[in-house]
Structure 1
Amino acid sequence: MIDLARLQQAQARIADTLSPTPLMLDHPLTERLGRRVWLKGELFQRTGSFKARGALNWLRTAGSEELAGGLGAVSAGNHALGLAWAARQVGVPVTIVMPENASHFKVEGSRELGAEVILHGDINDAWNLMHRLVEERGLTLVHPYDDERIVAGQGTVGLEILEQCPEATAILCPVGGGGLIGGIGVATASLRPSLSLIGVEPAGAASMAHAWAQGGPARLERISTCAKSLAASIVGEHTYPLSRQNVQALASVDEAAIHRAMHHLLYRAKLAAEPGAAVGVAALLEAAVTLPPEGDVVVVITGGNLGGEELEAFL
């Protein structure tokens, strides 16, 4: 059971190493919408995304038997960076399987942090290989989103937002596998139940909307989006019910909208965020969400891990 107490414990557990990230006013969006729009800068977190929170919380609650054979994970990149960084703090080896189209920037960054990175097929192929490696090598799987300790760590983002923005009536959160929005939802439902929590997905990887429509996690046959950090083909057994309980709405944005949002973040907000972090801004620019009539809006900018070649596509 993931409740407020577990989020607060996670916040205390990681506070000596991971500082709160800033909340920044997006002046152009504020002027456009006629209400304050704040950007939660998780791209400034250690390893360049919110993923370091869950990874560090997981490592600091792991037993010696879980660590003994090393750790394994599947990741598009940000979880790999966060887990490799956290595991290096305690000298535990990490094996990561990434899809072959993973960001070169994230692959090399994970290797620099000491992880063994294997590139293999698409995201479904990567998972199949990791399950084999868990059996063959005796690795402990650290799921990128469907793990209660990971979700609790990611939920500290929600605690910070509520502390930093007492007048917020809506939070827009990118959705991949659902770990971040699942954790934030525990915080909002417990501390500010009137707040509207809205998930935003790429139209080409709307795995949470698919799960809602199917009545439970169901794998997407095809993933196609530039927002690779959100390219989960299936949401989690933990994250699905959390979203149904605590998320008020889901929206999707197409590739053109993500490109426009990237342009806004780069040139108007002056933030070098990655495409997956831009979907919340895209939803506002496209009027793809229904907001409460009053109050501040917070958009979670989940990460900023992209290399020069990726950045060039949005210049």
Structure 2
Amino acid sequence: MLPLERLQEAQRLIADTLLPAPMLLDHVLSERLGRQVWLKGELFQRTGSFKPRGGLHWVRTASRQELAGGLGAVSAGNHALGLAWAAGQAGIPVTIVMPENASQFKVEGSRELGAEVILHGDINEAWELMHRLVNERGLTLVHPYDDERIIAGQGTVGLEILEQAPEATAILCPVGGGGLIAGIGSATAALRPGLALFGVEPSGAASMAQAWAQGEPSRLEKVATCAKSLGAAIVGEHTYPICRETVRALVQVDDAAIARAMHHLLYQTKLMAEPGAAVGVAALLEQTVTLPASGDVVVVITGGNMSREELAPFL
């Protein structure tokens, strides 16, 4: 796992620009579970997700040589928005390759922030194109999750949770490639090792569960989920071992459960969270997690970037 000092340094480096995201009490879930359930509102962060934390930390710790040729990334959307915004703060050009089925809302948002966005194939084909562009254009690749500087930036979410929820005994965190949960896991293991950290994946993109089963990251042949922000086909060489060491259990939820969680968030908590952000709530609603006997529960609501058309099926 990453040293605590590295997470704290990341927090110091971004604190002048990115304020802590609020913690909101979910009254309905709290009454149902008989304990306080807090929602960590990363959808209120800059660009609508937790991703600017890692992006800004990466840019502010980059060398001149790394920045000289511009940056490149592959993203289903939120990393594109976060990195485009962070690079824009420093006047650095960014090229993003996104799968053709990426959210149009996130595509347009990334372009408005100054990024060159190329739509290409599925997530695996998007990665193939980016590797070619890195060689052809001299770009520096900023991985959306498998980079220690990105993980450290995302770990500031964990530091904030521990400050904001001193009575928490469990955290539920969405898992795509594993950058966020690896950062949170590094924070909790150092500061509150008895806390139970649970990873929640969409059943159609359970790449971390596959890595756990096989003992190493391996690529999914197919990704099929409404939670596109969690559609990483393979977890990271850095994120996998940290997750394996710090996460108590992984659970999966299907698209129907995610839809029910979306409905709950919209109508009970008044939050317009995107599908990938709703998986932790889905796990609680479906009772797929064995929680500690007592204490508060924190669910990370990772983002809220959706168009009206993307939101419509969940109304």
> TM class by shorter-chain length?
over 0.9
* Equivalent position of 1:244 in the other structure: 244
| 4+ aligned runs moved over 2 Å, structure 1 | none
Shift of 1:2: 1.9
Report the equivalent of 2:63. Answer: 63
* Number of the residue aligned with 2:203: 203
Count of aligned pairs between the two proteins: 315
Give percent identity, aligned residues only.
79
Structure 1 residue 85, shift from structure 2 partner? 0.2
Q: What are the residue-to-residue correspondences of 1:90-239 with 2, within 5 Å?
A: 90-239=90-239
Query: What is the TM-score of this pair, normalised by structure 1?
Result: 1.00
Unaligned runs of 5+ in 1: none
Structure 2 residue identity aligned to 1:244 = R
Q: Which amino acid aligns with 2:152?
A: A
What is the DSSP-based 3-state SS (H/G/I as helix, E as strand, rest coil) of the residue aligned with 1:72?
strand
Corresponding residue for 1:3? 3
- Alignment of 1:18 with 2:18, yes or no, is yes
User: Where does structure 2 lack aligned partners over 5 or more consecutive residues?
Assistant: none
What is the deviation of 1:174? 0.1
- Which residue type is aligned with residue 145 of structure 2? Y
User: Which residue does the alignment assign to 1:265?
Assistant: 265
Distance 2:13 2:140 in 1: 21
Q: CA deviation at 1:3?
A: 1.1
Matched, 1:75 2:75: yes
What is the CA-CA distance between 1:76 and the residue it aligns to?
0.2
Instruction: Verify: 1:52 aligned to 2:40, yes or no.
Output: no
TM-score, normalisation: structure 2: 1.00
SS in 2 for 1:313: helix
Q: What one-letter code is carried by the residue in structure 1 that aligns with 2:191?
A: L
Partner SS, residue 173 of structure 2: strand
**1:286 counterpart residue number:** 286
Q: What displacement does 1:313 show?
A: 1.0
Q: Distance in 2 between matches of 1:284 and 1:259?
A: 13
Could you tell me how far apart the structure 1 residues matched to 2:308 and 2:6 are? 38
Cα RMSD of the aligned pairs, angstroms, is: 0.5
Q: What is aligned with 2:299?
A: 299
The amino acid of 2:248's aligned partner reads Q
